[in-house]
Amino acid sequence: MFSLDSVLASLELETVDTDRYRAGSIQLGGPVAHGGQLLAQSLVAALVGQEGKKVKTLHTVFARAARPDVPLDIAVTRQHSGRSLAASAVSISQGGRLCVQSQVLLTGDEPDFISYAETHPAPPPVPPTEPAGAEGVNGTAGAANGSGGWQVRVVGDVDISDPDAVGPPELDVWIRWPGASDDLVTSQALLALSTDSFLIGTAMRPHPGVGQALAHVSLSTGVLSHTITFHQPGPASEWVLLSHRSPYAGHGRSYGQGSAYRGGGALVASFVQDNMIRAMAASGSRHL
């Protein structure tokens, strides 16, 4: 789906004014900008001028779809900036219309007072190392382009695109970005982008005749809100396990939860997502 170069290019924000930026989108051939890209851009924008801090939690509401062929206008409102904590609101618009609104909590480094971290009870084996840009299981990884592509390995070779592949609303996926810088901002941005991609498919798994291949064909699907909280660093170039579960689907919506673990099972981040999944209107309308 993605080349690393195209993702990093979308994270290069052009300064227009104080706390105002413009950015482009990854070109995937579809009619809308990828939601994970918008998450990553919101994270990067919130960190500008916040030296010594990192993102703790990013909470994003998707008001409407953004087009990939139109520049994005990004505005940051700094709500608080203290020694250990800061908060900003980030909005992304096109043509004066709001597409995405994010609330971003930033934190400085502090020593442990209490310390505990969940570990994955039985992580599947880490995939073997392969050349940058090698294609992933089910064709979900980006082809090599410049610094390489997003590598994806779905545990158990589950195909969430297949409407006839039925299973529990759970999905484990290994991901990594070979060739990516392991600096904290890049790693957080790439992880945020990656967590956007699988919870709708996870929710579809128990239902015969429903799969991601039908999205925007006979099904209207979309992410409504996404929240990710970062716990510990997880270098983007290393394998990270995204463990997904969807405890509820109904009334045209689904709710999903996920945890991101490093190869040894240490928890890196937690995320949740509200989604729309419903039959497409007879007119073919895809509006939210």
Q: pTM of the entire structure? A: 0.90
pLDDT at 220: 82
* Helical H segments across 51-183, by residue range: none
pLDDT at 175: 96
pLDDT at 137: 41
pLDDT at 44: 98
Element (H, E) at 171: strand 170-176
pLDDT at 283: 53
In 2-116, the DSSP E strands lie at 14-17, 20-23, 54-62, 72-81, 85-94, 97-107
Query: Given a cut of 60, is residue 144 above it in pLDDT?
Result: no
pLDDT at 67: 96
User: What's the mean pLDDT in 77-85?
Assistant: 94
Cβ distance 132 to 2 under 8 Å?
no
When pLDDT is cut at 50, 70 and 90, the band that residue 282 belongs to is low
Query: Given a cut of 70, is residue 284 above it in pLDDT?
Result: no
Average model confidence (pLDDT) for the chain? 89
